[in-house]
């Protein structure tokens, strides 16, 4: 995969699923069951992302439009995946890293970019 292809992966506006044991809201309690949320990748130049990213080669942003859902404290280090219809399996796209608060409407979450090399 070329460097320019790596920077486009995962594809912008692609739905991805994060799972984790993080809090239900900022300052809230941790859940008793594993939780999941679907988010979409956004451009690193969008307002809700551009001041959060430190390195576009290593990081990307994802969020739910309008906020209200997303990863939170305790989810860091957890997987962000997409389902490959072609391969009929879940592929790791990113690792939950950090954000401002939990699922705030004007802020995305930052994920560590994971490049999948296929034969």
Per residue in 68-96, is it b (16+ CB within 10 Å) or e — as a string?
eebbbbbbbebbbbbeeeeeeeeeebbbb
Asked if the structure places residue 32 within a domain, the reply is yes
Which residues constitute the domain of residue 51?
3-113
Query: For residue 83, which of 45, 38, 47 has the smallest C-alpha distance?
Result: 38
CATH number of the domain encompassing residue 66: 2.40.10.10
Residue 118 located in a structural domain: no
pLDDT in tens, 64-97: 988 888 999 999 999 999 988 888 999 999 999 9
108 pLDDT above the threshold of 90: yes
List Cβ neighbours of 21 (8 Å cut-off, separation of 6 or more). Answer: 30, 31, 34, 35, 74, 75, 78
> What pTM value is reported for the model?
0.87
**119, part of any domain:** no
Number of independent structural domains in the chain: 1
Residues 12-66 pLDDT 10s: 898 999 999 998 877 778 889 999 999 999 998 999 998 999 998 899 999 998 8
Q: What pLDDT score was predicted for residue 3?
A: 58
38 assigned to some structural domain? yes
Q: Is residue 41 part of a domain?
A: yes
Asked, for residue 76, whether it belongs to a domain, the answer is yes
């Amino acid at each position: 995969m070329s460097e320019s292809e790596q920077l486009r992966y995962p594809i912008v506006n692609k739905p991805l699923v994060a799972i984790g044991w993080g809090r239900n809201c900022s300052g809230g309690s941790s859940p008793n069951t594993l939780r999941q949320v679907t988010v979409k990748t956004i451009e690193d130049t969008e307002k809700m992302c551009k001041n959060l990213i430190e390195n576009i080669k290593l990081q990307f942003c994802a969020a739910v439009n309008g906020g209200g859902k997303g990863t939170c404290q305790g989810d860091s280090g957890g997987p962000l995946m997409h389902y490959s219809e072609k391969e009929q399996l879940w592929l790791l796209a990113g690792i939950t890293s950090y954000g401002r608060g939990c699922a705030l409407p004007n802020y995305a979450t930052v994920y560590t970019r994971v490049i999948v090399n296929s034969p």
